[in-house]
């Protein structure tokens, strides 16, 4: 499952200024789709990759303190 | 025993352009009835349960039960009981855990203690901005046999 690590590395290095607050789909270390609706982002990613496994995750907003 | 470190911050300390660095998220593979998705999960020692957002549950095709109240830091919210298989990509062997979870209107996956934490020894290195997961299943099995 090498691509999980590759996609995760891309995720932790994403610029919050560009993607903060959005769902992103990452494939082979590249963001291939993003938006506010997780299902739409996933659908677009499936279309682009022809149903390959992608990373789907939300990027925290910049300047927001996370108390969980 | 496989041990893997996951870097969870872009910067180990707050920076001028990023005053609130990342929390301890790890890569995971979610396995549902209808799909498999890679995602990130927040290791939350303060949470008893694992939380899955409804959109993710829908994509995976998770079956959900009745709505039940869940007490949180923000008050009481509603969740639906479910179950999910989560795989953690440790360096030598991935560890797959079948975890009871709650589907809750939240925007990220929270990895709570119940069941999910059992196969691991988890160490947080805050100054270095990383977390270590060690697979201790064989150790646990040896202890059971004694």
Q: Does B8 sit within 8 Å of A56, measured CB to CB?
A: no
Per DSSP (E only), the strands in B60-129 are: 67-72, 75-88, 95-104, 109-111, 120-125
Instruction: Specify the pLDDT at position B18.
Output: 64
pLDDT at B11: 60
Residue A40 lies in a domain: yes
| Domain carrying residue A36 | 2-58
Dihedral sign from CA coordinates of B75, B26, B57, B98: negative
Question: What is the reported pLDDT for B141?
Answer: 81
Based on the structure, what is the number of domains in chain B?
1
- If you average pLDDT over residues A9-34, what whole number do you get? 91
Decide if A65 is inside a domain: no
Q: Which among B116, B127, B117, B111 has a CA at the least distance from the CA of B40?
A: B111
A35 within some domain: yes
> Does A41 reside within a domain?
yes
Whether A48 and chain B come into contact, CB under 8 Å, resolves to no
The band of B111, judged by pLDDT with boundaries at 50, 70 and 90, is very high
Give the structural domain span for B55: 3-145
Report CB contact under 8 Å: A56, B108: no
CATH number of residue B110's parent domain: 2.40.70.10
In a domain, A67, yes or no: no
Of the residues B10, B40, B44, B110, the best mutation for testing chain A's interface (the one with the most A CB atoms within 10 Å of its CB) is B40
**A22 within a domain of the structure (yes/no):** yes
Residue with the larger pLDDT of the pair B116 and A2: B116
Which residues from chain B sit within 8 angstroms of residue A3, using beta carbons? 38
Render pLDDT for B39-91 as a digit per residue (tens, 0 to 9): 999 999 989 999 999 999 999 999 999 888 888 777 888 999 999 999 999 98
What is the pLDDT confidence band of residue B143, given thresholds at 50, 70 and 90? confident
Residues from B contacting A (CB-CB < 8 Å) are 6-10, 18-20, 22-23, 25-29, 36-40, 42, 44, 46-47, 53, 55-56, 58-59, 73, 87, 89, 94, 107-108, 110
pTM of the model as a whole: 0.88
Q: What's the rounded mean pLDDT across residues B9-33?
A: 77
Residue B19 confidence (pLDDT) above 80: no
**Whole-angstrom Cα distance, residue B8 to residue B105?**
24
pLDDT in tens, A37-50: 999 999 999 999 99
SS3 annotation, chain B: CCEEEEECCCCCCCECCECCCCCCEEEEEEECCCCEEEEEEEECCCCCCEEECHHHHHHHCCCCCCEEEEEECCEEEEEEEEEEEEEECCCCCCEEEEEEEEEECCCCEEECCCCCCCCEEEEEECCCCEEEEEECHHHHHHHHHC
Q: What ipTM was assigned to the predicted interfaces of this complex?
A: 0.89
pLDDT for A1? 47
Locate A21 and state its tokens.
Answer: 């607050």
Domain count, chain A: 1
Q: For residue A45, is it within any domain? A: yes
- When pLDDT is averaged across residues B120-143 and rounded to a whole number, the result is 89
**Closest residue to A8, CB basis, from B27, B55, B58:** B27
């Amino acid at each position: 499952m090498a691509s999980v690590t590759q996609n995760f590395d891309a995720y932790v290095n994403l610029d919050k200024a560009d993607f903060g607050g959005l769902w992103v789909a990452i494939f082979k270390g590249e963001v291939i789709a993003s938006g506010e609706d997780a299902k739409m982002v996933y659908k677009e990613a499936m279309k682009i990759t022809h149903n390959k496994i992608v990373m789907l995750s939300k990027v925290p907003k910049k300047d927001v303190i996370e108390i969980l | 025993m496989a041990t893997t470190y996951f870097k969870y911050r872009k910067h180990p300390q707050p920076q001028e352009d990023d005053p609130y660095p990342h929390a301890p998220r790890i890569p995971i593979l979610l396995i549902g009835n209808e799909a498999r998705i890679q995602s990130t999960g927040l290791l939350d020692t303060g949470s008893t349960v694992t939380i899955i957002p409804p959109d993710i549950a829908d994509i995976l095709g998770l079956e959900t039960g009745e709505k039940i109240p869940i007490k949180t830091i923000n008050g009481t919210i509603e969740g639906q009981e479910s179950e999910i298989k989560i795989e953690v990509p440790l360096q030598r062997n991935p560890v797959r855990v079948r975890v009871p979870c709650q589907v809750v209107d939240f925007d990220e996956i929270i990895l709570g203690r119940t069941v999910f934490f059992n196969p691991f020894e988890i160490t947080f290195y805050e100054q270095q901005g990383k977390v270590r997961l060690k697979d201790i299943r064989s150790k646990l099995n040896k202890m059971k046999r004694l």
